[in-house]
């Protein structure tokens, strides 16, 4: 069986070499894995739960989700052409064998995995990271998830001193069951949607963060997701709780090998923000987008939602979406606490045959709640890029305000940009502003830049950067640099 996989990967090596320039993280780590055979049924769910030595309540929760999922249908309201997914052809659990006896420290981690993350530019050695601080980098604690399991989490001890819990979800279930139980499924209920129900049934790993009262997390936290194994899906679940007066900035990045088959990634993220607390959640999504003919790539079907339960709670989602064959993602904010605020800053770039249907929901429940939506869609090649957003003002959301700005930029003639803003207001005191623009990189702009000596490629990247500026400035510094570079790479071949 592994023999076969190898040859098919070799066969495609030629094609891959060409794409490699545009997707530099598309390599495969050759590592022995404990992978479930493909298929989805109750047995598989029990097996996942058993692997993770979960308590009965969690298994019951999974099974309930599975039963619900069986009654549901794949949503088709998005402006996406999704090929049929055979859920029985996917493996729902895969873990590197070397990870079996949960490595205690970085020194116990399989060198092949360390090498993988080094190649991906994800620093894991705490000493080296701290040494780098003096020169330029601010330290970032990272939880690395490889296929279905968390490999290691850095700076745990440091964080613990501040009372911050940062660990894999599986560990949280063991070590902090009360917290997990209290919040699990509270903002994304089991039956919320088809993919969240599937995730609830089969989720494997993800990150768990708890920031105690009146604590500002001493460093930025991050999770790096990597899909490696063939024919597996990644179903991670992340939960962040910011207690009263707490503050945290969390970053998330992800990559996968280049393969001709589509792979499914269906994550759920739940954020809880209590009184006067703040969460800043940033994503740079760079899943393998498929090749220039639209073959392969990740299906990224993700449910992310934040509950601003407290007064003055604040959440901001910033996402830079350049990867995935198909993206279906609407990070949302439930603004329950009075004066709570939700922000959504998004850059979504599609090239070749990529499709993205992404946006947000701002649900205003509390008084004087405020939300801001800034969405920048860039379409190139034959791709389709859709913004879909809902702003709902409930009856008791006196004085609620929303500002929405949706800009689309088209590169070339064969791509599409679409905007679907939905507004539902049940309170007449609400102030809602909506602006939308669609523009092209004009020949005149390119001529102007080139006349000054700037190449077409550099001019395009400059114009795109300019277009995304308002979103990039919301990203932590180093992420912004990475995001810019990623846009440039993703746009390669889009001009000329």
Partner 1 sequence: MLNIKNIHAQVGDNKILKGLNLDIKPGEVHAIMGPNGAGKSTLGNVLAGMEKVEVTEGSVDFLGKNLLDLEIEQRAAEGIFLAFQYPVEIPGVNNMYFLRAALNAQRKYRGEKEMNSSEFLKLVRTKIKQMSMRDDLLRRPVNEGFSGGEKKRNEIFQMSILAPKLAILDETDSGLDIDALKIVADGVNQLRDDNRSFIVITHYQRLLDYIVPDYVHVLADGKIVRSGDKSLAIELEKTGYGWLED
Q: How many CA atoms lie within 13 A of 185 on its CB side?
A: 18
Closer by beta carbon to partner 1, 83 or else 453: 453
The Cα–Cα gap between 187 and 383 comes to: 32
Q: Compare residues 209 and 449 and give the one whose CB is closer to partner 1.
A: 449
Smallest distance, partner 1 to C-beta of residue 206, A:
35
Which residue number, 75 or 466, has a Cβ lying nearer to partner 1? 466
The DSSP call for residue 352 is T
Could you tell me which residues come within 8 angstroms of residue 257 by beta carbon, excluding any fewer than 6 positions away? 26, 27, 28, 227, 228, 288
Tokens of 56: 């009965």
Distance CA 214, CA 127 (A): 28
Q: Are 285 and 319 in contact (CB under 8 A)?
A: yes
- Nearest to partner 1 of 4, 451 (CB atom): 451
CB of 449 to partner 1, least distance (A): 7
> How many residues comprise the chain?
496
Match 């770039």 to its residue by tokens. Answer: 349
- 2 or 466: CB nearest partner 1: 466
Q: Cβ of residue 440: shortest distance to partner 1, in angstroms?
A: 12
Cα–Cα distance between 277 and 180 in angstroms, integer?
19
Q: Smallest gap, in angstroms, from Cβ of residue 454 to partner 1?
A: 5
Min separation Cβ 424 and partner 1, Å: 31
Q: Report, in Å, the least distance between residue 439 CB and partner 1.
A: 8
3-state SS of 48-115? Answer: HHHHCCCCHHHHHHHHHHHHHHHCCCCCCCCCCCCCCCCCCCCECCEEEHHHCCCCCCHHHCCHHHHH
Which tokens belong to 160? 């613990």
State how far the Cα of 38 lies from the Cα of 87, in Å rounded to an integer: 8
Place of tokens 């490889």: 146
User: Distance between CA 248 and CA 409 in Å, rounded?
Assistant: 32
Residues near partner 1, by CB under 8 A: 442-445, 447-456, 458, 462-463, 465-470
Q: What are phi and psi of 105, to 5 degrees?
A: -125, 175
Cβ-based nearer residue to partner 1, 422 or 447 = 447
Which residue is associated with the tokens 């791509």? Answer: 415
Q: How far is the CB of 342 from partner 1 (least distance, A)?
A: 24
List of residues 6+ apart from 45 with CB closer than 8 A: 59, 62, 63, 66, 201, 202
Query: In this complex, which beta carbon is closest to partner 1, that of residue 105 or of residue 455?
Result: 455
Task: Decide whether 104 or 443 has the Cβ nearer to partner 1.
Answer: 443
Closer to partner 1 at the Cβ: 242 or 491? 491
């Amino acid at each position: 069986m592994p023999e076969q996989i190898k040859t098919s990967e070799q066969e495609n090596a030629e094609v891959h070499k060409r794409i490699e320039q545009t997707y530099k993280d598309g390599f495969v780590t050759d590592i022995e894995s404990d992978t479930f055979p493909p298929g989805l049924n109750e047995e598989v769910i029990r097996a996942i739960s058993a692997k993770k030595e979960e308590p009965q309540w969690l298994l019951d929760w999974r099974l309930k989700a599975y039963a619900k999922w069986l009654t549901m249908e794949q949503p088709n309201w998005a402006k996406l052409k999704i090929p049929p997914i055979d859920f029985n052809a996917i493996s729902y659990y895969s873990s590197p064998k070397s990870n079996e006896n949960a490595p205690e420290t970085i020194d116990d981690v399989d060198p092949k995995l360390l090498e993988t993350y080094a190649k991906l530019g994800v620093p894991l050695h705490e000493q080296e990271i701290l040494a780098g601080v003096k020169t330029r980098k601010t330290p970032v604690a990272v939880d690395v998830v490889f296929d279905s399991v968390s490999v290691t989490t850095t700076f745990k001890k440091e964080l613990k001193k501040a009372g911050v819990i940062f660990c894999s979800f599986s560990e949280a279930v063991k070590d902090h069951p009360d917290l997990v139980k209290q919040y699990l499924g509270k903002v994304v209920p089991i039956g919320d949607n088809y993919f969240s129900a599937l995730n609830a049934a089969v989720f494997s790993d993800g990150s768990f963060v708890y920031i105690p009262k009146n604590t500002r997390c001493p460093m930025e936290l991050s999770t790096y997701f990597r899909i490696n194994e063939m024919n597996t899906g990644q179903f991670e679940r992340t939960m962040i709780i910011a207690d009263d007066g707490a503050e945290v900035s969390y970053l998330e990045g992800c990559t996968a090998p280049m393969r001709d088959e589509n792979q499914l990634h269906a994550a759920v993220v739940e954020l809880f923000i209590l009184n006067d607390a703040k969460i800043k959640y940033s994503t740079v999504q760079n899943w393998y987008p498929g090749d220039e003919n639209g073959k392969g790539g990740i299906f990224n079907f993700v449910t992310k939602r934040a509950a601003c339960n407290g007064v003055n709670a604040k959440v901001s989602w910033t996402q830079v979406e350049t990867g995935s064959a198909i993206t279906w993602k609407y990070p949302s904010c439930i603004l329950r606490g009075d004066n709570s605020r939700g922000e959504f800053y998004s850059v979504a770039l599609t090239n070749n045959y990529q499709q993205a249907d992404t946006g947000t929901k701002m649900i205003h429940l509390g008084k004087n709640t405020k939300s801001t939506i800034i969405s920048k869609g860039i379409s190139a090649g034959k791709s389709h890029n859709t913004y879909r957003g809902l702003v709902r003002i409930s009856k008791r959301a006196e004085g609620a305000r929303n500002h929405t700005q949706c800009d689309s930029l088209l590169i070339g003639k064969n791509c599409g940009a679409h905007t679907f803003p939905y507004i539902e207001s049940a309170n007449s005191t609400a102030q809602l502003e909506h602006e939308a623009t669609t523009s092209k990189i004009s020949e005149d702009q390119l001529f102007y830049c080139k006349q000054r000596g700037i190449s077409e490629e550099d001019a395009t990247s400059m114009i795109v950067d300019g277009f995304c500026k308002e979103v990039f400035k919301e990203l932590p510094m180093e992420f912004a640099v990475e995001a810019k570079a990623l846009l440039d790479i993703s746009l390669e071949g889009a001009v000329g």
